[in-house]
Structure 1
Amino acid sequence: MERVSGVSCTVGESPTWSAADNAWYWVDIPAKRVWRLDASSGVSRYWDNAEMVACVAAKAGGGLIAGMETGIFSLELGAERGAKALKLATPASGLGEGMRFNDGRCDRQGRFWAGTMFMDMGAARAVGQLYRYDAARGISAPFVSELLTQNGTAFSPDGRTMYLSDSHPQRRMVWAFDYDIADGVPSNRRVFADLTAEVGRPDGAAVDAEGCYWVCGNDGGYIFRFTPDGKLDRKLVVPMLKPSMCAFGGKDLDTLMVTSIVSGKPEDAEWGGAVALLRPGVKGVAETPFGA
């Protein structure tokens, strides 16, 4: 495992690979910051924002789409230190006091999916919802409601299965849905993986070329790999206690980027908040940019 030099995040999240830019992007939520790592030079830099950025995905034509505190935004990352943010949509019901977007990813057709959460996890308020956004139809009504901490959004290689997790300590669950790739509608929700007996909460996730679901075991220092039928077939130990999300990328899609969160525990002092790259021995699936 190789640590990305000079980078430490309080809440590192949402790694994503942009083939067009030959670069990785990710966020540090409380810092209101978007990071970029150039794969050719190894140079990293960041852009500041006026509000928290929770999840990002590459846009066709350049820039990023992002789920933030008050809605879905388009971000343009230029030469200046600050990003240029344009609000695209807000849920019809609004986000409410103490809410923000959390985890997000594009489906295989380039539609952006992102969910909301109540930021004070200790309150355990099941008010999170999952939305779809595309330029033609705007933001949808919520497809999933009553989430505590929405996470783990990912899609099978053929796009016909959607995954979603709730990483709150009181849930620790991953669901699968049948996914209509023409209309962008999930259905037939069912339990895919129950992690209540595992050490580690199911946080951000990615899918590999074999259709297996990789999900970060936050608080456990693991990344779990589940086969398409929900069988746990691999448990990868990582040096950070709170890995938060993983994503496949690199030229050959054989590299996994892992972000993490500072735990404040002495045993996690070196790696907490680190961003790391590793080669897990399998390849990922190319992510479709938003609007492609």
Structure 2
Amino acid sequence: MRTAAIAISTARDRVGESPVWSVADQALYWVDIESQRIHRLDWATRTQSSWTLAERVGCIALSNRGTVIAAMESGIYEVELQDAPMARVTCLATVDHPQPGMRFNDGRCDAQGRFWIGTMVRDMSLASAAGGIYCLDTQGLRGPVLQGYITPNGMAFSPDGRTAYLSDSHPSRQTIWQHAFDSANGIWGPQTEWVDMKPLPGRPDGAAVDAEGCYWICGNDAGQVHRFSPAGALLQSIAVPVSKPAMCAFGGPELRHLFITSIQPAQPAPGFDAALDGAVLVLEPGVQGRAEPLFTQFPVPVPSH
């Protein structure tokens, strides 16, 4: 076990988010939202490749077609990554945001291969609760199925698929909720407050669930990654050398590595290594993760009459 985090990415992202490990490729994929890029790091060679797209990429999922599903500003796109920097991009669904200046943010697939994604107003200073949760499946993009969020984040599902987690990162919220989840039908039950993050170090950002059903979440602004039991008890906090860890994901050959993307702060934070701001970090937390489900529920075209 090595809980000291080291940097493995060659570049420094402005807003590094959405790390996803590909078991098939033995590679890590992630995004830099503000630079409109998807990155890929081959684990065996440590070779990094990057693709720049036409819009900000809030989050990604991997599909059973070997493509990347990218939630962007105007909709959800299927991206066929070719020899970098070439990519073929196909629109799967467009979104009708309730107000201008919005984009997709955090998201992930459930065990049935649906893609769940949150939206937010890009300017967090507005504290606009126009964000919602949408679902992409064979019926297209539906939603918002949940609404009233400022900065929806921390989405994850329990190993048995019966519990969904969701947070709001905004300084005025800083809460993690639990929902009963009907995985067969893709229905979220009522939200219950699970963890109030206000007394803890950092705002709740991106998250992952390990093989034991414990929930890991980045403490943005505090340089921490926290692990909670299924009952919501804080079990462990790991310090990282950047002030703004953004999202974590399990990966590596045995899913025993924890990858952590990060964000460059507006001003270097005292007590942290500014040279690592925006890097992807990796550590070994001593527990095993779970492989992320692939997106399989591609929208079925509606026949024209």
For the aligned pair, the TM-score class normalised by the smaller chain equals over 0.9
Q: Secondary structure at the match of 2:132?
A: strand
Which residue number in structure 1 is paired with residue 59 of structure 2?
Answer: 55
What is the alpha-carbon distance in structure 2 between the residues aligned to residue 95 and residue 282 of structure 1?
Answer: 41
Partner of 1:198: 200
2:277 counterpart of 1:272: yes
In the alignment, what sits opposite 1:289? 294
Shift of 1:123: 0.7
Q: Measured at CA, do residues 95 and 34 of structure 1 come closer, stay the same or move farther in structure 2, by a change above 3 Å?
A: farther
Runs of 4+ in 1 over 3 A off after TM superposition: 93-96
| 1:103 to partner: Cα distance | 0.4
Match of 2:135 in 1: 132
Which runs of 5 or more residues in structure 2 are unaligned?
298-305
In the alignment, structure 1 residue 94 sits paired with structure 2 residue 97:
yes
Match of 2:157?
155
Q: What residue is the counterpart of 1:38 in the other structure? A: 42
What is the CA–CA distance in structure 2 between the aligned matches of 1:239 and 1:13, rounded to whole Å? 17
Task: Report the CA distance between 1:266 and its aligned residue.
Answer: 5.0
Q: Percent identity?
A: 49
CA distance in 2, matches of 1:113, 1:5: 27
TM-score by length of 2: 0.92
- In structure 2, distance between residues paired with 1:41 and 1:95: 44
Structure 2: distance between partners of 1:148 and 1:224 = 22
| The one of 260, 263, 268 aligned to 1:261 | 263
Residue 144 of structure 2: SS of its match in structure 1? coil
Matching residue of 2:119: 116
Check conservation: 1:49, 1:82, Cα contact below 8 A: no
Structure 1 letter corresponding to 2:196: D
Q: Measure the CA separation in 2 of the matches of 1:95 and 1:246.
A: 29
- Aligned AA for 2:55? E
**Following TM superposition, by how much is the alpha carbon of 1:110 offset from its aligned partner in structure 2, in angstroms?**
1.1
What is the CA–CA distance in structure 1 between the aligned matches of 2:264 and 2:84, rounded to whole Å? 28
Deviation (angstroms), 1:6: 1.6
Do 2:243 and 2:269's aligned partners in 1 also have CA atoms closer than 8 Å? no
The letter of the residue matching 1:88 is L
SS at 1:97 equivalent: coil
Identify the residue that residue 9 of structure 1 maps to in structure 2: 13
Q: TM-score, normalised by structure 1?
A: 0.96
What is the correspondence of 1:176-195 to structure 2 with a 5 Å cutoff?
Answer: 176-195=178-197
1:57-84 Cα shifts (integer Å, max 9, x gaps): 1110201111101111111100141432
Distance across 2 between alignment mates of 1:85 and 1:236: 38
Question: For 1:236 and 1:213, how far apart are their aligned partners in 2?
Answer: 13
Q: Describe how 1:68-87 pairs up with structure 2 within 5 A.
A: 68-87=72-91
Tell me how many residue pairs correspond in the alignment. 290
Q: Provide the residue aligned with 2:302 in structure 1.
A: none
For residues 46 and 84 of structure 2, the distance between their equivalents in structure 1, rounded to whole angstroms, comes to 20
SS in 2 for 1:251: coil
For 2:9 and 2:91, the matched residues in 1 are separated by 32
The 3 A distance-change label for structure 1 pair 183 and 243 is same
Aligned counterpart in structure 1 of residue 254 of structure 2, from 252, 270, 288 = 252
Find the aligned partners of 1:103 and 1:165 in 2 and give their Cα distance: 10
